């Protein structure tokens, strides 16, 4: 009986290893096949799209998970504050509210083979990335009034062509919205540059070469 039990443990462990084998690693951090599968399904769920299991979506999911891995590492090294449970819960409820009712939300989760816990974990990672941008890059971005005015003038004609039936918003009414948009764009550009450099330094190893 003991021999049969040991054989069962061996087979179960082998099955789990096959299901959740490591696809990518960098140092002690790993990305598994199950994490890739979850990332694909959560992304499809949030975008209200069908789940597409192909090489393109797998590579895109792998790159997102690598970005998250690098950001988590940087957050820990520099002790940036992580999102609180309350912030994650608020974000979760916002997503949930988009489905109209509890039953609609639960049906959608089931259709994508997701659980509340998996969705919360992925939303927490999204908030972590946004917080990293806010702490690491946004404070370094400066947008002058002159730049805002140039942006407004450059886009005024487009507004008039597209919405000729309504007057365009004034510069004074648009100033802060333009400033925020320009700051966000430059912060995103700075993040992308940082991620490119971090990937080169991280010694990322693809055990699944199709994900490169």
DSSP string covering 59-118, please?
HHHHHHHHHHHHHHHHHHHHTPPPPPHHHHHHHHHHHHHTTSSHHHHHHHHHHTT--HHH
Which residue ranges form the domains of the chain, and what is each CATH number? 8-211 (1.10.4030.10)
Say if CB 204 and CB 66 are below 8 A apart.
yes
* C-alpha span between 67 and 61 (Å, rounded): 10
The answer to whether 118 and 42 have CB atoms below 8 angstroms apart is: yes
Which residue, among 208, 209, 160, has the nearest Cα to 22 in the 3D structure? 208
What pLDDT was estimated at residue 24?
93
pLDDT of amino acid 164 = 57
Task: Count CB atoms within 10 A of the CB of residue 123.
Answer: 21
Whether the CB-CB separation of 198 and 70 falls below 8 Å is answered with yes
Compute mean pLDDT per 10 residues along the chain, 212 residues long, and list them.
38 44 90 93 94 92 93 88 92 94 94 94 91 90 92 77 68 90 93 94 91 90
CA distances from 182 to 32, 113, 132, 157, 177 (A): 36, 38, 18, 19, 9
Which pLDDT does position 34 carry in this prediction? 92
| β-strand pairing of 22-26 with 29-32 | antiparallel
Confidence at residue 187, expressed as pLDDT on a 0 to 100 scale: 93
Contact at 8 Å (CB) between 27 and 45?
A: no
Which among 210, 209, 207, 204 has a CA at the least distance from the CA of 68? 204
C-alpha dihedral, 47 to 49 to 50 to 51, nearest 10°? -20
Q: Quick one: pLDDT at residue 1?
A: 45
What is d(CA 175, CA 190) in angstroms, rounded to the nearest whole number?
A: 22
> Considering only CA atoms, which of 48, 190, 177 is closest in space to residue 107?
48
Q: How many CA atoms lie within 13 A of 153 on its CB side?
A: 6
């Amino acid at each position: 009986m003991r021999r049969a039990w040991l054989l069962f443990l061996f087979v179960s462990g082998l099955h789990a290893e096959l299901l959740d084998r490591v696809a990518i690693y960098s140092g002690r951090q790993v990305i598994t096949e199950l994490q890739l599968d979850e990332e694909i399904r959560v992304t499809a769920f949030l975008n209200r799209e069908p789940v597409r299991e192909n090489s393109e979506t797998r590579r895109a999911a792998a790159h997102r998970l690598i970005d998250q891995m690098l950001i988590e590492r940087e957050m820990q090294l520099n002790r940036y504050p992580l999102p609180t449970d309350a912030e994650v819960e608020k974000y979760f409820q916002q997503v949930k509210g988009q489905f109209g009712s509890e039953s609609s939300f639960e049906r959608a989760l089931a259709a994508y083979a997701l659980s509340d816990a998996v969705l919360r974990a992925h939303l927490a990672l999204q908030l972590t990335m946004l917080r990293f941008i806010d702490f690491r890059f946004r404070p370094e971005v400066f947008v002058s009034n002159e730049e805002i005015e140039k942006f407004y003038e450059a886009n005024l004609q487009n507004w008039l062509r597209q919405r000729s039936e309504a007057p365009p918003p004034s510069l004074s009414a648009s100033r802060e919205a333009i400033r925020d948009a320009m700051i966000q764009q430059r912060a995103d550009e700075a993040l992308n540059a940082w991620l490119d450099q971090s990937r080169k330094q991280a010694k990322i190893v693809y055990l699944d070469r199709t994900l490169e």
